[in-house]
Amino acid sequence: MKKFLLILLSTLVISCGKEVNCNGNDEKQVFFDLLSTDFENTYSMLKEKNDLDVVFNLPYEDVKNDFFSEAINLEGVRPSKIEKELKKCDCETKIAVQLPTDMIDYLEKNLTKLYTFDIEALKKSESIENVKYSVQLTEDNKIYCETTSSNILLQSFIDYAYFKNIINNHKNGLLKEIEDESNVESSDTNVGDINSLLLKQLTNPEIVSNSEKCENDKYCNLVYEWSKLYYSLPKKFQENIKTNSGIYKVEKNDFNSLWKGFYYISKNENMNKISDVITDKIAYNDEPVTFRASLVYFYVKYQLLKEED
């Protein structure tokens, strides 16, 4: 049986006369901390491996706290045994696990074209029945909790953390390159659509949605948007820069080669402002965005505007 002792924060005052109960806020917090004993190490490993097509860059504590407040609900909490002289309660509960509606809606609306999600399955709630734990007040007024079910939420937390981070990635233009249908060369119809969209955004950059990282800078917003539209380019332009002088293969994040291309000033003033954002404001601070936006920039410059180098 795994045991866990939590010293509550100094801002939580427990009086000497307090009696523990199964449904108290302090008791549930200790129980949640016990259920999350393996979360942090797992989250750290996910960040280190970084192999799930998503960058795990949200702080662990924020994700854990949101998980218990958004995705977890204790139902039918009840004491199965009370020992007043020991200040102890044996408890039972059902744990309902459900991804929040706003998370599912975001995945369905924005990410089903890049990732394969079973949206209907994600909408279903899962229940873990008859979870048993005990809470006890120690002589020095600390809440002690023990359970045999301390790892039952680990997979649910991994799933929640994955979706939480992938949504954050999408909002901030940080999605990793993925080898799926998003990288398949577009049809002629799709190429026409993306060309029209890119030229429209270039002419009116203020129509692009704000990025949290751009502080209302419309050209910065456009760069983050173009970094996402990179996946809509024909695949040959995701790997090559084609100019009137020839075709140049560009390796991922080969910024030495990319910077040479920016030496040639565009005839379009908006393109020059976009160039400044890519090379000066973002640059090495956000390399995936810089690389993808650069390839889109050169695609617009040479394929759509037909400029010469």
193-250 pLDDT, tens digit each? 888 899 999 999 898 888 778 888 999 999 999 988 888 888 888 888 888 778 888 8
What is the torsional sign of CA 45, 50, 52, 54?
A: positive
Radius of gyration of the chain (CA): 26
Of the candidates 109, 141, 171, which is a domain's last residue?
A: 171
Least Cα distance to 72 among 92, 45, 99, 53 occurs for 99
Tokens standing for residue 304: 């759509």
Domain for residue 256, yes or no?
yes
Biggest CA-to-CA distance, the chain: 87
Of the candidates 114, 143, 171, which is a domain's last residue?
A: 171
On whether both 159 and 228 belong to a single domain, the answer is no
Domain for residue 309, yes or no?
no
On whether both 9 and 135 belong to a single domain, the answer is yes
Q: pTM of whole model > 0.75?
A: no
Domain for residue 266, yes or no?
yes
On whether both 33 and 61 belong to a single domain, the answer is yes
On whether both 208 and 299 belong to a single domain, the answer is yes
On whether both 166 and 192 belong to a single domain, the answer is no
Higher pLDDT, 162 or 12: 162
Domain for residue 122, yes or no?
yes
- pLDDT given at position 97: 95
CA distances from 244 to 35, 222, 298, 301, 302 (A): 61, 26, 12, 11, 8
Domain for residue 158, yes or no?
yes
Of the candidates 171, 198, 219, which is a domain's last residue?
A: 171
On whether both 21 and 128 belong to a single domain, the answer is yes
On whether both 146 and 67 belong to a single domain, the answer is yes
Name 277's Cβ contacts closer than 8 Å, sequence gap at least 6: 217, 219, 220, 222, 223
On whether both 260 and 217 belong to a single domain, the answer is yes
Mean pLDDT of the chain: 83
What digits encode the pLDDT tens for the residues 133-180?
999 998 888 889 998 887 899 989 999 999 999 899 888 877 644 433
What digits encode the pLDDT tens for the residues 267-303?
899 999 999 999 999 888 888 888 999 999 999 999 9
Tokens standing for residue 268: 């379009």
Least Cα distance to 96 among 130, 123, 126, 64 occurs for 126
Domain for residue 73, yes or no?
yes
On whether both 86 and 18 belong to a single domain, the answer is yes
On whether both 139 and 30 belong to a single domain, the answer is yes
On whether both 16 and 138 belong to a single domain, the answer is yes
Q: How many domains does the chain have?
A: 2
Cβ neighbour number for residue 290 with a 10 Å cutoff: 21
Domain for residue 6, yes or no?
yes
On whether both 110 and 229 belong to a single domain, the answer is no
* Structural domain range at position 284: 181-304
Domain for residue 32, yes or no?
yes
